[in-house]
Amino acid sequence: MSSPTLVHEFEWTGPSADPNDEQFGDVVRRHTLADLPDLADEQPVLVGEPYDGGVIGRPGAAAGPGAIREALAGVKTHHFDAGPVDGAGAGIADLGDLDVRGVGGVATAQGLAREVARQAHGSDGLPVFLGGDNSMTVGNVGGLLDAVGGGTPDSGTSESGDPPPVGVLNFDAHLDVRAVGEAPTSGTPYRQLYAEGLADYACVGARHFETSTAYHDFLRERGGTVVTSEEVGEDPVAAVSRALEALDAAHLFLSVDLDVLDATAAPGVSAPTPGGLTTRDLFRAVRVAAGDPRVAGLEVVECAPPLDRDGRTVDAAARTVAHFLAAQGVAA
């Protein structure tokens, strides 16, 4: 497999004409993979993954990273509790977009993403991946497994015989543990990662009538946790807290599939359905999860701008990133 290449196709700038409006466009700076050793501790590192070759439903997520950046650039950095997000600190690093043009299939794209993720997770930075479809989760979490000495394929154990130290908290309408057929898809990432040695998994925001019984059984047999969208709607803090308490892992990766939102809030996803979370509940849930000291990174996936209406899904994606960074304590 060839070495991954990242390209910059976005110029960060805050679009407001008001000099008092500090926006994310004012605090994000271009960097390269070579800059990773020089990052400050917990400095956010953005990586775009413009790929939707693994999507089961409607394509369009390849346009996600650029649209999320454009929306985030205009978001003000001030959070009422945390203050300005990194307004006077080390800033936010953007490594650009993974070049997946002409790659030879989903597995190859996952491998390229995994190498970038391994380097990002191995630095002092805090990786934030902008998807792209859910198939890239295998690379983003696999890179964390590699960086911290996780399990070996199909073993479920590390070389020492102990469970690998990585778990995933997945905000998603679906469990994404389908069996891999001829090629991986956006529906297979956690089946693949369990085979790689994933220690634990919790799905928050899962919806009734969106998952086959066989896949729920698969997850229960492995001790995974399901927290439904109804439970989140009743009490987001309690729902996420239950998932965090159930996750037995030293390092946690947060994945936000935007189809966890109700179709009215996120029409621009591969599989929009009713009964999902509100944006307010998602933002609060992400802040609760991001406050866990074990968190080692975030991805926001399945944002498909060509399918969006009035920028609702893209804006939700950008603000999910902002809320995550505020809760991580990346504040001046």
Q: How far is CA 164 from CA 47, 89, 96, 160, 260, in A?
A: 25, 33, 30, 9, 27
Q: What is the pTM of this model?
A: 0.94
Alpha-carbon span 177 to 71, nearest angstrom: 31
* pLDDT tens-digit readout, 191-227: 999 999 999 999 999 999 999 999 999 999 999 999 9
Confidence grade of residue 164 (pLDDT, cut at 50, 70, 90): low
pLDDT at 160: 55
Residue 190, amino acid = Y
Q: What is the largest CA-CA distance in the chain?
A: 58
Confidence grade of residue 157 (pLDDT, cut at 50, 70, 90): very low
Computed over every residue of the chain, the mean pLDDT equals 93
Q: Is the pLDDT of residue 2 over 90?
A: no
Alpha-carbon span 158 to 199, nearest angstrom: 10
Alpha-carbon span 271 to 284, nearest angstrom: 23
Report the pLDDT averaged over residues 55-62.
94
Report the pLDDT averaged over residues 82-99.
85
Report the pLDDT averaged over residues 18-31.
95
Tokens of 111: 């491998």
Q: Is the pLDDT of residue 88 over 50?
A: no
* pLDDT tens-digit readout, 286-309: 999 999 999 999 999 999 999 999
Confidence grade of residue 159 (pLDDT, cut at 50, 70, 90): low
* pLDDT tens-digit readout, 218-236: 999 999 999 999 999 999 9
Alpha-carbon span 327 to 86, nearest angstrom: 12
Q: Kindly write down the DSSP assignment for every residue of 257-312, as one continuous string.
A: EGGGB-TTT--SSSS--SS-B-HHHHHHHHHHHHTSTTEEEEEEE---GGG-STTH
pLDDT at 103: 87
Please return the burial class of 205, using the count of CB atoms within 10 Å of its CB with bins 0-12, 13-18 and 19+. Answer: buried
pLDDT at 101: 86
Residue-range domains of the chain with CATH: 6-327 (3.40.800.10)
Confidence grade of residue 1 (pLDDT, cut at 50, 70, 90): low
Report the pLDDT averaged over residues 7-30.
96
* pLDDT tens-digit readout, 165-178: 999 999 999 999 99
Q: Is the pLDDT of residue 161 over 90?
A: no
Report the pLDDT averaged over residues 2-10.
92
Q: Is the pLDDT of residue 163 over 90?
A: no
Q: Is the pLDDT of residue 158 over 60?
A: no
